[in-house]
Amino acid sequence: MIIVMQATAQDEDVQRVVQTIRQQGLSEHISRGKECTIIGAVGDERVFDIAQIEALPQVERAIRIVQDWRIISREAWAQDTQITVRGMALGGHSGIRKIQAIAQTDASSLHLNADSDAALFDPFYTPANPYARAGCFSLENTTQTLHDISQICRQNNKIIVMRIRDSAHLEVALSVQADILYLGGELLANRSLLQEVGSLNIPTIVCKDSHHRVRDWLVAAEQIVLRGNQHVILGDAGTLSLHGEPLRLDVDALVAAKKLSHLPVLANISQLAHRHMDKQTLWALACAAQVDAIIV
């Protein structure tokens, strides 16, 4: 259940609702916005009568939500959430942010595009082929290399987005002061990692894998938000294609995410271009889906 407080509600009014929730054996999740405060009742909400909740002072309305994602749902918050990272606004009406995907690089050869707002690094990538080259980020020099890259990004006023592939990578990402964490689709079912990221106050992109449904995607984001980290961005890097190409941009999922959730939405098109679908067309499709950021 989502409880929307009136704009004039004071702290004691919010605490009164919280006490009512706790008396029924449920826990609360509080989101304070510019215009009003939203309280989520976490647990079996069938113990509540909506009329009883709405009768409490300074309660505007109570909404029973049937989906498995509640705090991030449009019913809970009608306006688009805007996340600000080192002065860069993402989401809301801030326009589309461009993120440059950096492949294999080191500090000496790093090239940052002038028209990009941020740079995505994937230092922990390991190819499926055991004989393939893993890239320049070796275990022994990863941290130092990332520190050097971090300094260059700061000097060029670029936001640092870092992809992690295991919970062990969190410490490195935090030590080099990554601005945004990027969780690939392979981590969507890793509940312990989602909860760990949820306990951090750092913006996080939750990317779905090619086989995931929109429900899986939103539930994973909900798990992070429920732990306290409300700076979550929904990301898509492609879904299975029926035309021979490995992956295609999941426009349907992007549109659904914008309709079902108030979180910012991102499209990662960096690996989706092929001879029948160039990056300009992919960019146009992502824009048509009204995404908030695009990785190229």
Q: What is the pLDDT of residue 177?
A: 94
Alpha-carbon gap, residue 6 to 8, rounded angstroms: 5
Provide the whole-model pTM.
0.85
Four-CA torsion 100, 104, 106, 109, nearest 10 degrees: -70
Q: Count of CB atoms within 10 A of residue 75's CB?
A: 15
Helix (H, G, I), strand (E, B) or coil at 241: coil
The second-level CATH assignment, the architecture, of 2-63 is 2-Layer Sandwich (3.30)
Q: What is the pLDDT of residue 243?
A: 67
Q: What is the pLDDT of residue 250?
A: 96
Q: What is the pLDDT of residue 122?
A: 93
Low-confidence residues in the chain, pLDDT < 70: 34, 104-105, 133-141, 242-245
Which residues in the chain are classed under CATH 3.30.70.1140?
2-63
Alpha-carbon gap, residue 12 to 14, rounded angstroms: 5
Q: What is the pLDDT of residue 141?
A: 67
Q: What is the pLDDT of residue 94?
A: 93
Which residues in the chain are classed under CATH 3.20.20.70?
82-295
Of all helices (H) and strands (E), which one includes residue 191? helix 191-198
- DSSP type of residue 39: E
User: 1.10.3720.10, 3.30.1490.190, 3.20.20.70, 3.30.750.24: which CATH number matches 82-295?
Assistant: 3.20.20.70
User: Pick from 286, 281, 209: which is nearest to 247 by CA?
Assistant: 209
What is the full DSSP assignment across 84-118?
EETTEEEETTS-PEEEEEP-S--GGG----TT-SE
Q: What is the pLDDT of residue 109?
A: 81
Q: What is the pLDDT of residue 33?
A: 73
Helix (H, G, I), strand (E, B) or coil at 265: strand
pLDDT, tens digit, 9 for 90 and up, residues 67-122: 889 889 998 888 999 999 999 999 999 999 999 999 866 777 889 999 999 999 99
pLDDT, tens digit, 9 for 90 and up, residues 5-28: 998 999 999 999 999 999 999 999
